[in-house]
Amino acid sequence: MFAQTAGQLPEAGGIYYTSLLMWIILVPLLVGVGIYFLKSRDSSLHKALSLFAALAAFAGVLALLPLVLKGSAEFCLLDFMQLGLFFKVDLVDWVFAFLISFVWLLATLFSFVYMDFEHHRRRFYSVLIFTLGATLGVVLSADYFTLFLFFEMMTLSSFILVIHEQDQGAMKAGLLYIYLGLAGGLALLFAIMLLYWQAGTVEMMPLLDQVKEYPTLIFVLFLTGFGIKAGLVPLHIWLPKAHPVAPSPASALLSGIMIKTGAYGILKTALVLYQAPPGQEAAGYSSYLFNLGSGLMWVGIITMFSGAVMALLQDNMKRILAYSSVSQIGYIATGLGTALLMQADGAMGFTGALYHVINHAFFKAGLFLVAGTIYMYTRELELKRLGGMFKKMPLTGVVFLVCAFGIAGIPGFNGYASKTLIHDAMLLALEATGFYSIKAAEMIFTLTSALTICYFIKLFRGVFLGPVPKNLDRQYTLALSTKVVLGTFGAVIILIGLFPDFILQNFLTGSALLLSYTGPVMDHLYHFHFFAWPMLKPMVVIVALALAIYFTGDRYRWFNWQPPFWLSIEGLIYQPATIFLYNFTGRAGFALDRRVDQSYLGLGKVTGRLVARVVDFEGLIDKLYQRWGLVGRQVIQKTAQMDEGLDRFYQKSGRAAKKLAEGTEAMDSSLDKFYLKTGGAAKKLAAKTAQMDESLDKFYQKTGRGAKKLADQSARMDEGLDELYQKTGRAAKKLTDQAARADASLDRAYKKTSKGPRLLSEYVTGLEGLLHAFFDAAGKAARKIFGQRRPGGKDEPGPGEGEER
C-alpha cells in the first residue's frame, strides 16, 4: 500500500504531492539543532534564528491552506527506517498544524523577553524550536508509524523544557513526565504493531473491518498512549506537576498545544480508524462502537469534572491552569466520545471537540502567558502572596479576563461556541438513544462548567483584586512584544467569540465531511445559530449555578480543603503500582539472580565436598600404605638388627680369631724362648760334657779302648750340637736385624716431627719480627699523631672565650 501511495503523482484526484510538508518539519528541527551548536554569549542571534524558524513554519502551514481546501497534500520518504515516512495533510490536520505554528510563533515572541530573566537560554531556544518541528510532525503524519516517531521525539525534547529550572521539583516532575511519556509511547507502539500485523498498514484510515483480533485492546492501548499525553484522568498525574514548573512560554505550549497532540491522536483513532465501514457492514459494528464511544465519553466526563474540582482546590496560579487544562481536555474527549457513539451522525460532537481544541489553544496559552507575565515581574505564583495586579498591569488584567470569559463559555467569547456545540451534541445523543447515563453526563457537564467559572473567579480575585502586597508595590512596564502577544490572544478570542460561524462554516464543516459525516446533523450544522435562545439558555443556567456555588463555597471555605494524599490518584494507583513494579521486577529479579548465582556456588560446594570425600579416600589409602610401610620398616629394622647382630658376631669372632692368632704368636714366642732356654741348657751341658770328656779322656787314657769308642760317640753328638748352635745363632741374628730396622724408622719419624716445630718456630720468630716492626711503626705513628694533636688541641676555643660571649 505504501508503494501505491508513493506512486501517486501530484494533482491526481485532489492530492498534492509536495515536499513542503517535509520542510515545514525539517526547518525547525534543523534550526533547533543549529541553535544549540551556535555558541554565543549574546542570545540575539538565537532569538533571530528561533523567530525565523517559527515564522518559516507558520508561513509553510499557511501556504498549505489552498491545497487542503481543495483536497490534501502528501509527501513520503520511502524506505526511511525501512517502513517509510508518510506525511499527509487534510483539513483536520491543517487546523491542528495552523494552531501549533501560530501559537508557537506567539509564544516564541513572548519568550524573548521572558527568557532574559532566565538561565540556559541557548538550550531553551534550541529545544523550543526543535519541539515545534516534532509537534508539527505529529499532526502532519499520514500513518501511525510516522506519528509515533515524532511523538517520541516530542516527548523527549519537551522533557528538556519541563526540567528547564533543574531544581528538585522540576527534576521530579520531569522524570514522572518522561517515564509516563515513554510508557505511553510503548502502549502506542503495541497498538501500532497489532494494527500493522492485522491490516498490513498503519495508515490513519478506516481499518476497523480488517482488525479481527483484539480491536478493543488496540483501542484501549491507543487511548492510553494518547491519553497520557492529553492528560486524561487517571493518566494525567504528570500534567499538574510538569506544566507549572516549566518556564511560562513552555507551559503555554505544553498546555495549549502539546496536549492537543494527544487529542489529535484520539480523534484520529476514534473517528477515523474506528469509523464503521460503509454500507451494510456498519450495522454489525453499531453496538460495539456505541460502547467504545460511551466509554470515551465517560472518560471525558470524569476528566472534566475531577480536573475542575482539583483546580478549585489549588492555590498556585499555574497549577490551577494546569488542572484546568486537564478539565478542558475532558470536554474535548467528551465531544469525541459523543461523536463516536453517534457514529455516522456524530458530526456535532466532532465539530464541538475540534472547535474546543482551537479555542482551548488560544485561551489556555493566553492564560499561561498572563501568568508568565506576572511571574516575570513579580517572581510570584502563589495566590496568597499576590493581589491588586489589575491596577499595576491593566492590559494583563484585561487579557486575563478575556481569556477567562473564553474558558468559562460566556457568549461573545470563543469558548462559548465550542461548549455550546459539545453540549448540543450531548443533547442530540440523549435524544437519539434516550439513555439516562447521557442525561447524567449532561448534568455533570453543566456542573463542571459552573465549577470552571468558580475557579476563575478565585484566580481573578487572588491575583488581580484586593490590596497589592507591599513587596510588589512598584511600577511595572511591559515590553512591547509582551503587549503585542497578549493583545493578539485577546483579540483572537473576542473575534472568534463574536463571529463563531466563520470557523465553523469555513473549516469545521469541511473537516466533518472529510470524516464522511452525513445526514440531518450536517444540515443542522450548516444552519447552526449560536446566539439563539435555546443555545444561550444553558449558559445562563451555568453562570447562575457558578455564582451560587462560588459564594457558598467561599463562605464556608470549601476551596481551601486539601485532599489527603491517599485520596489522590497518585496515592491510590501510581505509588502502589511503582512499588509493585520495583519490587516485582527489580527486587525479585535481583533475588532470582542471586539465587542462581548461589546455586552455582552451592553446586561448587557440593563438588568441593565430593572432592573432600575423594581426598578422604585417598587419605585412607595413604594410611594403608603407611601401615604397610610401617610393617615393611619393621621388617627392615629387624633385618638391620639381624645384620647388626651378625656384624657384632663377626666382630666378636674376629676378635676371637685375633686372640687366637695372638695366642699362637705368644706360643710361638714362648716356644722360641723355650728353644733359647734349651740352647743355654745345651751349652751348659756341653761344658759339663767337655769337663766330663777331659775326665773321660783321663779315664780313657786310663781306660783304653773302651774310652776310644765313647770319644767317637761324643764327637758325633758334638757335631749335632754344633748344628743346633748355628740354628739358634741365625734366629738371634734375625731378631737383632728387626730391632735395628725399627730403630732406624723411629729415628726417621723423629726427624720428620722435628721439622714441624722447627718451621713453626721459624714462623713465630718471623711474626715476632713483624709484630716488632708493627709496634715500632705504630709507636712512631702514635708519636706523630700525638705530636700533631697537641698543637691542634691548642686551636680549640678555650672555655674562657666561650664565657666571654
Taking CB under 8 A as the criterion, the residue among 27, 57, 178, 296 binding another protein is: 178
3-state secondary structure of 775: helix
According to the binding rule CB under 8 A, does residue 263 interact with another protein? no
Q: Which is nearer to another protein, 243 or 458 (CB)?
A: 243
Considering the complex, what minimum distance in angstroms separates the CB of residue 453 from another protein?
39
In terms of C-beta density within 10 A (0-12 exposed, 13-18 middle, 19 or more buried), how is residue 506 classed? exposed
According to the binding rule CB under 8 A, does residue 589 interact with another protein? yes
According to the binding rule CB under 8 A, does residue 174 interact with another protein? yes
> What does the alpha-carbon distance between residue 402 and residue 407 come to, in Å, rounded to a whole number?
9
Q: Which is nearer to another protein, 265 or 553 (CB)?
A: 265
According to the binding rule CB under 8 A, does residue 588 interact with another protein? yes
Give the count of residues interacting with another protein (CB under 8 A): 49
Binding range to another protein, per CB under 8 A, among 67-75, 168-176, 330-338, 679-687 = 168-176
Return the C-alpha cell found at 790: 697537641
Considering the complex, what minimum distance in angstroms separates the CB of residue 198 from another protein?
8
Considering the complex, what minimum distance in angstroms separates the CB of residue 618 from another protein?
23
Considering the complex, what minimum distance in angstroms separates the CB of residue 203 from another protein?
16
> What does the alpha-carbon distance between residue 74 and residue 88 come to, in Å, rounded to a whole number?
4
H/E segment holding residue 89: strand 85-89
Considering the complex, what minimum distance in angstroms separates the CB of residue 193 from another protein?
5
Q: Which is nearer to another protein, 138 or 686 (CB)?
A: 138
Task: Enumerate residues 643-662 that contact another protein by CB under 8 A.
Answer: none
Closest CA to 88 of 29, 147, 1: 147
Q: Which is nearer to another protein, 82 or 287 (CB)?
A: 82
Q: Are 418 and 336 in contact (CB under 8 A)?
A: no
According to the binding rule CB under 8 A, does residue 22 interact with another protein? no
According to the binding rule CB under 8 A, does residue 197 interact with another protein? yes
Q: Are 133 and 29 in contact (CB under 8 A)?
A: yes
Binding range to another protein, per CB under 8 A, among 113-121, 278-286, 492-500, 548-556 = 113-121
Question: Can you point out the beta strands (E) in 459-533?
Answer: none
Binding range to another protein, per CB under 8 A, among 67-75, 121-129, 346-354, 498-506 = 121-129
Taking CB under 8 A as the criterion, the residue among 121, 241, 356, 360 binding another protein is: 121
Closest CA to 429 of 518, 340, 504: 340
Handedness of CA 396, 399, 403, 409 (dihedral sign): positive
Considering the complex, what minimum distance in angstroms separates the CB of residue 80 from another protein?
5
The contact mask relative to another protein for 63-102 (x = CB under 8 A, - = no) is --------------xxxxxxx-------------------
Q: Which is nearer to another protein, 168 or 475 (CB)?
A: 168
Overall size of the chain counted in residues: 805
According to the binding rule CB under 8 A, does residue 547 interact with another protein? no
> What does the alpha-carbon distance between residue 592 and residue 578 come to, in Å, rounded to a whole number?
20
The contact mask relative to another protein for 746-785 (x = CB under 8 A, - = no) is ----------------------------------------
Q: Which is nearer to another protein, 585 or 738 (CB)?
A: 585
Q: Are 420 and 355 in contact (CB under 8 A)?
A: no
According to the binding rule CB under 8 A, does residue 179 interact with another protein? yes
Binding range to another protein, per CB under 8 A, among 149-157, 478-486, 526-534, 712-720 = 149-157
Taking CB under 8 A as the criterion, the residue among 33, 182, 344, 468 binding another protein is: 182
Q: Which is nearer to another protein, 79 or 382 (CB)?
A: 79
Coarse DSSP helix, strand, coil percentages of the chain, rounded to the nearest 5 percent:
85, 0, 15
Taking CB under 8 A as the criterion, the residue among 27, 160, 228, 521 binding another protein is: 160
3-state secondary structure of 796: coil
> What does the alpha-carbon distance between residue 805 and residue 94 come to, in Å, rounded to a whole number?
108
Binding range to another protein, per CB under 8 A, among 114-122, 256-264, 403-411, 505-513 = 114-122
Taking CB under 8 A as the criterion, the residue among 23, 123, 288, 558 binding another protein is: 123
List Cα–Cα distances, 55 to 32, 44, 177, in angstroms. 13, 16, 29
> What does the alpha-carbon distance between residue 297 and residue 299 come to, in Å, rounded to a whole number?
5
> What does the alpha-carbon distance between residue 455 and residue 313 come to, in Å, rounded to a whole number?
8
According to the binding rule CB under 8 A, does residue 590 interact with another protein? yes
Considering the complex, what minimum distance in angstroms separates the CB of residue 641 from another protein?
54
Question: Which backbone phi and psi does 87 adopt, to 5 degrees?
Answer: -120, 145
Return the C-alpha cell found at 182: 515513554
> What does the alpha-carbon distance between residue 90 and residue 70 come to, in Å, rounded to a whole number?
9
According to the binding rule CB under 8 A, does residue 196 interact with another protein? yes
Q: In what order do the strands lie in the sheet with 15-17?
A: 15-17, 72-77, 85-89
Question: Which backbone phi and psi does 530 adopt, to 5 degrees?
Answer: -70, -35
Return the C-alpha cell found at 111: 519568550
Q: Which is nearer to another protein, 183 or 543 (CB)?
A: 183
The pairing of strands 72-77 and 15-17 is: parallel
Q: Where do contacts with another protein occur on this chain (CB under 8 A)?
A: 41, 77-83, 118-123, 148-149, 152, 156, 160, 163, 166, 171, 174-175, 178-179, 182-183, 186, 189-190, 193-194, 196-197, 214, 582, 585-590, 592-593, 596-597, 599-600
